[in-house]
Copies of this chain bind each other. A is one copy, B any other.
Amino acid sequence: MANLSVADSIGVLVVMLASAKLLGFLAMRVGQPAVLGELLAGVFLGGSVLGWVDPTADFLHVFAELGVVLLLFEIGLETDLRKLLEVGGGATLVAVVGVVLPFLLGYLVCRALGLPVLVGVVAGASLTATSVGITARVLSDLGRLQDEEGRIILGAAILDDIIGLVILSVVDRITQGQAVTPWVVIQTTAVAFGFLLGTLLVGRFVIPVLFRFAGNLDLPGTTTMLAVLLALGLAWFAEWIGSALIIGAFAAGILLRGTPQVAEIERGAAQLGHFFVPLFFVFVGTQVDVRVLNPVDPDNRHTLVVGGLLIAAAVAGKFLAGLAPFWIRGRKSVIGVGMIPRGEVGLIFANKGLASKVLDAGLFGAVTMMVMVTTLMVPPLLKVLFPPREPHRTPPEPEGIEDLVTEA
């Protein structure tokens, strides 16, 4: 399947998108966020059920990554930096506790089961990061990105991603048998945070000039394409200097929020997003192997026990982290639940562990199981805890002659 023809690659995209739209629509019909349907579409299409989509195909990685990049760009466009910084203290506490606690719990679970130190470190690390894509998408589906709880979750998830990068580079070195010096940790941390601060500072001066120029060009689609190029370019640059793609895309969104063309950019990004974003969630779904959940197979018993305990550690760790900012008035249970999904970030750790042979197939299955359950449980749970807000629909109240005549 690695050598798909171009036509068959397009066929795979058609099947992924059609299933995503269909199951997304059905999920909404039964009162769930669309993203749950898209993830399940991926599970069905993946190797462990139908086997129609092979997530190892190179081109799919690119499409999926463009999807999450565009999603974080769209989220950035909706994010008011000042309001995000207002909840900075709470978000930071949630992020830090939400990394330390799941790591410790995961490590202790593995050690209690008699597994080696290295396994405990990798499994613990896989519990640390939140999938900001899934959380942000659910909040956006529910119309809750602007609420205090929503902003804390988003801020903490972004910080989590930056901390996750640092942990990933540390785990990389450990699994390759290299030494971890404090210097390496400090450097990685400085780059990851430095990129975000530097971009936001420089961008404040450069972006308005650039988009005033673009506004004068009067070519169809120029503003949107310039915005998308900025998002993809900053994403690439972020990864290149040692931060992450999605951090760059998020920064681009925050920067463009201030331009006069923001409404046009939002519409254009949404059109591209309708195409790329579902591909990301289906892609995440295809990487899930449901066979490890089959309790009839005796090989799975150990996996199920380890996986079950890891799930408990994963849920408890993030839930307790959500309670940490004691001074917040909002529903703190919502915050913790919003941090639970591990999604593709957890799978990256699991894959590193498998590739470096720190995790065997059974332990890899246990981590996969933890990722699957934490990812799929959150959309419905959050929906119950955090009822969707009606989208802004101004009621048709004609207030003057303009409305009457325009509507005629």
Which stretch from A178-186, A269-277, A290-298 is at the chain B interface? A269-277
A66 at the interface (CB under 8 A from B): yes
Cβ–Cβ contact B232 & A65, under 8 A? no
Given known contacts A7-B239, A18-B233, A240-B7, A62 and B59 CB-to-CB distance under 8 angstroms: yes
Chain B residues with CB under 8 A of A245: 6-7, 10
A240 to B233, CA, bound (A): 36
A11 at the interface (CB under 8 A from B): yes
Distance from A261 Cβ to chain B, minimum over Cβ atoms (Å): 14
A325 at the interface (CB under 8 A from B): no
Cβ–Cβ contact B10 & A69, under 8 A? yes
Which stretch from A86-94, A193-201, A220-228 is at the chain B interface? A220-228
Nearest CB in chain B to that of A21: its residue:
B225
Nearest CB in chain B to that of A64: its residue:
B6
Find A58's partner among B59, B228, B239 (CB 8 Å cutoff).
B59
Cβ–Cβ contact A10 & B221, under 8 A? no
For the residues of A in contact with B, the DSSP-based class is helix
Contact with B along A181-216 (1 / 0, CB 8 A): 000000000000000000000000000000000000
Q: Chain A interface: which size bin? A: 35 or more
Chain B residues with CB under 8 A of A235: 7, 10
* A258-294 contacts to B (CB < 8 Å): 267-268, 270-272, 274-275
Which stretch from A145-153, A162-170, A355-363, A400-408 is at the chain B interface? A400-408
A232 to B275, CA, bound (A): 12
Cβ–Cβ contact B65 & A6, under 8 A? yes
A219 at the interface (CB under 8 A from B): yes
Cβ–Cβ contact A274 & B17, under 8 A? no
Centre residue among A6, A66, A232, A406 by max chain B CB count within 10 A: A6
* A216-259 contacts to B (CB < 8 Å): 217, 219-222, 224-226, 228-229, 232-233, 235-236, 239-240, 245
A258 to B29, CA, bound (A): 30
Chain B residues with CB under 8 A of A8: 236
Chain B residues with CB under 8 A of A17: 225, 229, 232
A219 to B37, CA, bound (A): 15
Nearest CB in chain B to that of A240: its residue:
B7
Nearest CB in chain B to that of A61: its residue:
B6
Find A271's partner among B232, B240, B272 (CB 8 Å cutoff).
B272
Distance from A372 Cβ to chain B, minimum over Cβ atoms (Å): 22
A405 to B400, CA, bound (A): 11
Find A62's partner among B6, B14, B65, B220 (CB 8 Å cutoff).
B6
Cβ–Cβ contact B62 & A224, under 8 A? no
A61 to B194, CA, bound (A): 36
Nearest CB in chain B to that of A402: its residue:
B405
A13 at the interface (CB under 8 A from B): yes
A-B contact pairs, 20 of them (CB 8 A): A7-B240, A7-B245, A9-B58, A9-B61, A14-B229, A17-B229, A17-B232, A21-B222, A21-B226, A21-B229, A25-B217, A58-B59, A221-B271, A225-B274, A225-B275, A228-B275, A267-B271, A268-B274, A272-B272, A402-B406
